[in-house]
Chain A
Amino acid sequence: MTKSYLYKVARLPFKIVYEYEPDDEKQKNGEHLTPSLEPFRIESADDSLCFTLTVNDYFRPEYKGEEIGQYDCGGNNHGVYLLKDGGYQIVISDYSGRKCCLLQTDRNFTKGVVRLNGDKFMRSFGLNNSLMMMFAFSNAQNGTLLMHSSVIRKDGFGYLFLGVSGTGKSTHTQHWLDWIEGCDLMNDDNPVVRFVDGKAMVFGSPWSGKTPCYRNVEAPIGGFVQLKQAPFNKIRPMEVIETFASLLPSCSVMKWDKRVYTGICDTIGNIMETTTTYFLENLPDRAAVELSYSTLTGNTIQK
């Protein structure tokens, strides 16, 4: 028996198929594992699907293939193996090192099977991480990036704040929300950035880290800000090479996969053609927000 659900994130439709044994009454797997996907659910898809992910319960770490490596993805481990047919097998562990699932995909990430394992948290974690990879890598040649960033919308434009943990990103974006009227948070961790019809766009997504902010919203990009803590406030536009070196590590990539990697590099180039990235050295204060806000929008904060 199977149940299927369609979703559309950043205008890109995909399908999840849950497979059940006939005698499976508990149905540990199902749409209850992905509540953050609900705002993105659609009834039918007009465009072709970017991927189909089949979900079942047969967790067996087999068909290992050649180990590419073990990667730390923000505190959780991804063990990646290259299969003979060019596809991938990925074992995803949670923050305590428990193996949550086994993802097997074709080389283009258009068809995948994920075998879930463990309790509800582990299943949900494994499925969401599998979905992120399927989404990012099936669309890598399609002008699409899954970026690590916090996004604020103001007057119809999305502003993306970049920086690893500890750079004051959360503080700075929270200050925008607190002190600038009419701002809202589009996503706090993993928005989708796309180059569509010659325009750089940012989209809310079902993936938002620790902040539950799963919004089906979109906006043209108003600018990027790379943050760094400093004992002063200073902002400047970044050079091309600096911007590239700043945007690339903020994207989900697979460096060993030429198709994915060059696709992502080209998309970053297109995004850079139509946007500006600023480098903001900042204190956690109001003056920093006034500086970044006026530089990005040309406006001043209304007192």
Chain B
Amino acid sequence: MRIKSGFELRKICRENIVISHGLNNINFTKVVSLNESAAFIWDNIKDKDFSLDDMVNLIMTEYDVDDETARKDCSQLLTQWKEVGYIED
């Protein structure tokens, strides 16, 4: 899976905000902010194919967290991103 084109993470007023542009996203009106760890994952998986395992590995190399917790949090984050509509297969 990958992040759909037209979604872009930008630093706005010290916060990580995902904006959307492009013809495919004309009717997409949601504005979402990400915390530091979610933004870290986004920056490292954008523009390429990734899996849940990739997300977990990223978090475990960057933060001091056990596999189980990382997997649970990443899975939850991925579900949210899918619900918002950021992800395509």
Q: Which residues of A contact B (CB under 8 A)?
A: 68-69, 240-241, 243-245, 248-249, 255-258, 261-262, 265-266, 268-269, 272-273
In the bound complex, residues from chain A placing their C-beta under 8 Å from that of B17 are 240-241, 244
Which residues in window 24-42 of B have CB below 8 A to A? 25-26, 29, 31-33
Q: List 25 A-B contacts (CB under 8 A).
A: A68-B26, A69-B26, A240-B15, A240-B17, A241-B17, A241-B31, A241-B33, A244-B13, A245-B31, A249-B29, A255-B21, A255-B26, A256-B21, A256-B22, A256-B23, A256-B26, A258-B22, A261-B19, A262-B21, A265-B10, A265-B12, A269-B10, A269-B12, A269-B13, A272-B12
Q: How far is the CA of A266 from the CA of B21 in the complex (A)?
A: 13
**Which residues from B are CB-within-8-Å of A245?**
31
Q: How large is the interface on B (under 10, 10 to 19, 20 to 34, 35 or more residues)?
A: 10 to 19
**Cβ-closest chain A residue relative to B30:** A245
Interface of A is mostly: helix
- Give min CB distance, A145 to chain B, whole Å: 14
Closest to A273 in B: B13
Residue from the list B8, B19, B23, B29 in contact with A68, Cβ < 8 A:
B23
Whether A248 touches B22, Cβ cut-off 8 Å, given contacts A240-B13, A241-B17, is: no
CB-CB under 8 A for A241 and B15, given A256-B26, A262-B10: yes
B48 at the interface (CB under 8 A from A): no
Kindly identify which residue among A68, A69, A272 contacts B13, using a CB–CB cutoff of 8 Å.
A272
Which residues from chain A contact B25 at a C-beta distance below 8 Å?
Answer: 255
Complex contacts, A248 vs chain B, CB 8 Å: 31
Q: How far is the CA of A273 from the CA of B12 in the complex (A)?
A: 9
On chain A, the residues within 8 Å of B8 by CB distance are: 262
Tell me whether B72 is interfacial, beta carbon within 8 Å: no
Find residues 18-67 in chain B having any chain A CB closer than 8 Å to their own CB.
19-23, 25-26, 29, 31-33
Across the interface, which residues of B come within 8 angstroms of A261, CB to CB?
Answer: 19, 21
Q: A255-B21, A265-B12, A269-B13 are known; give 14 further A-B pairs, CB within 8 A.
A: A68-B26, A69-B26, A240-B33, A241-B31, A241-B32, A244-B12, A244-B13, A244-B17, A255-B22, A256-B21, A257-B21, A258-B22, A262-B8, A268-B12
Docked complex Cα distance between A256 and B11 (Å): 20
Contacts of A258 in B (CB 8 A): 21-22
Q: Is the CB of A269 within 8 A of B11?
A: yes
Q: Which A-chain residue is minimally distant from B22 (CB atoms)?
A: A256
Docked Cα-Cα span, A265 to B33, in Å, equals 14
Which among B12, B17, B20, B33 has the highest number of chain A CB atoms within 10 Å? B12
